[in-house]
């Protein structure tokens, strides 16, 4: 099966996934309301209200948990469609041992989703604790970070041991690094970084999911070019579900992704970049995520060592919001930049 033959199938799967997800998302939003799985008001009841809370507490009461639906549906639809594709004679080609590749993808998708769901549940129903800049909701930062690294190293080990991946290619310069066992911490760092980067970017209506759709379209083209059937089917189902969710997530959002989706989606995006052998292209294609997490790191450096903030508010999109930019304008401009970066990243991936 050539790329020209496989692309129509991938596009058809996107439409199928979109239609199924669209039918289910409204009842799911109603279910979240009934379960009281909604965003809490985080501003302190007395004293000075932090700028972040002034900007975002108006969104309190909006259902959180869109990531749960997308994860569930993607796993269910893949379990139905992939065996069906084999039975109807679609040629299954993979870059790695089939079952090992699928195990790595779905382990990442589900394990980071479960970690994020734990954080969501604590945010919704547990008592907040006092943090450095006010009340802290959910898992403690150190605990969550440690668990992410444990999962990241586990996935890196699987990729090295089960899939035999240990090479990093640097395009343009023609550099190929054989990292050997050092590939494990390299992969773990990429997975943890993108998991946090996506979570940090998920702060404005439609921002992170719109950027993720752009990234995944780029990697759909890469996967189709490599004729990696399971990866392409996975990405196609993912895009369709995200588009249905995005319809209700654009400003003013009727549903939020939640950490279950944010942590899972960022980590899985990194794994897709690693499986494709295009981790450098991922840094370009997902460049907005990189900028967002970098701005948060710079802000933390400012507070810790300079005892003052570098930006008005971090991550960067919050600074624009604090300066009076309208939320949809910030999101639309980020999408435009995301498209340009995706085109540039695709160019890098093909040279």
* Confidence category of residue 133, pLDDT binned at 50, 70, 90: very low
Which of 132-141, 145-154, 215-224 shows the lowest per-residue confidence on average (mean pLDDT)? 132-141
Whether 185 shows a pLDDT value over 50: the answer reads yes
Tell whether omega for the bond before 315 is within 30 degrees of 0, i.e. cis: yes
Comparison of pLDDT for 102 and 9, the residue scoring more:
102
- Closest C-alpha to 38, from 16, 57, 64, 58: 64
Query: Do 58 and 52 meet the contact criterion of CB atoms below 8 Å apart?
Result: no
Q: What is the token pair recorded at 275?
A: 């499986």
Whether 128 shows a pLDDT value over 70: the answer reads no
pLDDT value, residue 50: 61
pLDDT value, residue 48: 63
* Confidence category of residue 42, pLDDT binned at 50, 70, 90: low
Query: By percentage, how much of the chain surpasses pLDDT 90?
Result: 66
> What is the average pLDDT across 195-219?
96
* Confidence category of residue 169, pLDDT binned at 50, 70, 90: confident
Whether 137 shows a pLDDT value over 60: the answer reads no
Residue 134 phi, psi dihedral angles, 5° rounding: 135, -155
Query: Do 138 and 260 meet the contact criterion of CB atoms below 8 Å apart?
Result: no
Q: pLDDT tens for residues 50-96?
A: 655 566 567 888 999 999 999 999 999 999 999 988 787 777 788 89
Compute the radius of gyration of the chain from its Cα atoms: 20
Whether 134 shows a pLDDT value over 50: the answer reads no
> What is the average pLDDT across 90-115?
92
Comparison of pLDDT for 153 and 40, the residue scoring more:
153
pLDDT value, residue 202: 95
Query: Do 188 and 155 meet the contact criterion of CB atoms below 8 Å apart?
Result: yes
pLDDT value, residue 102: 96
> What is the average pLDDT across 184-212?
97
Which of 92-106, 165-179, 293-307 shows the lowest per-residue confidence on average (mean pLDDT)? 165-179
Return the exposure string of 219-252: e unless at least 16 CB atoms fall within 10 Å of the residue's CB, then b.
Answer: bbbbbbbbbbbbbbbbbbbbbbbbbbbbebbbee
Mean pLDDT over the full length of the chain: 89
Q: Would you say the pTM of this structure is higher than 0.75?
A: yes
Whether 136 shows a pLDDT value over 50: the answer reads no
């Amino acid at each position: 099966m050539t790329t020209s033959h496989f692309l129509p199938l991938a596009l058809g799967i996107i439409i199928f996934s979109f239609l199924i997800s669209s039918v289910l998302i409204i009842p799911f939003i109603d279910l979240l309301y009934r379960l009281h799985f909604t965003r809490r008001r985080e501003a302190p009841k007395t004293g000075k209200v932090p700028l972040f809370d002034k900007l975002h507490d108006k969104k309190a009461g909006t259902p959180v948990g869109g990531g749960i639906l997308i994860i569930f549906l993607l796993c269910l639809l893949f379990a139905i469609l992939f065996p069906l594709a084999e039975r109807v004679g679609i040629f299954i080609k993979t870059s790695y041992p089939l079952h090992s590749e699928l195990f790595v993808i779905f382990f990442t998708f589900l394990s980071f989703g479960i970690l994020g769901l734990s954080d969501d549940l604590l945010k919704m129903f547990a008592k907040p604790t006092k943090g450095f800049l006010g009340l802290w909701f959910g898992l403690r930062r150190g605990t969550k970070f440690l668990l992410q690294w444990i999962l990241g190293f586990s996935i890196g080990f699987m990729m090295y041991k089960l899939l035999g991946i240990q090479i990093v290619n640097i395009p343009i310069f023609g550099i190929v690094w054989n990292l050997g066992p050092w590939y494990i911490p390299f992969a773990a760092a990429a997975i943890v970084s993108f998991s946090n980067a996506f979570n940090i970017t998920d702060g404005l209506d439609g921002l992170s999911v719109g950027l993720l759709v752009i990234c995944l379209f780029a990697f759909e083209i890469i996967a189709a070019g490599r004729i990696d059937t399971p990866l392409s089917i996975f990405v196609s189902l993912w895009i369709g579900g995200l588009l249905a969710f995005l319809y209700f997530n654009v400003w003013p959002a009727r549903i939020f992704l939640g950490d279950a989706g944010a942590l899972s989606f960022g980590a899985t995006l990194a794994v897709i970049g690693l499986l494709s052998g295009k981790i450098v292209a991922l840094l370009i294609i997902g460049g907005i995520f990189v900028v967002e997490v970098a701005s948060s790191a710079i802000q933390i450096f400012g507070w810790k060592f300079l005892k003052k903030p570098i930006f008005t508010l971090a991550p960067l999109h919050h600074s624009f919001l604090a300066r009076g930019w309208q939320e949809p304008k910030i999101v639309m401009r980020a999408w435009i930049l995301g498209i340009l970066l995706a085109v540039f990243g695709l160019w890098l991936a093909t040279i």
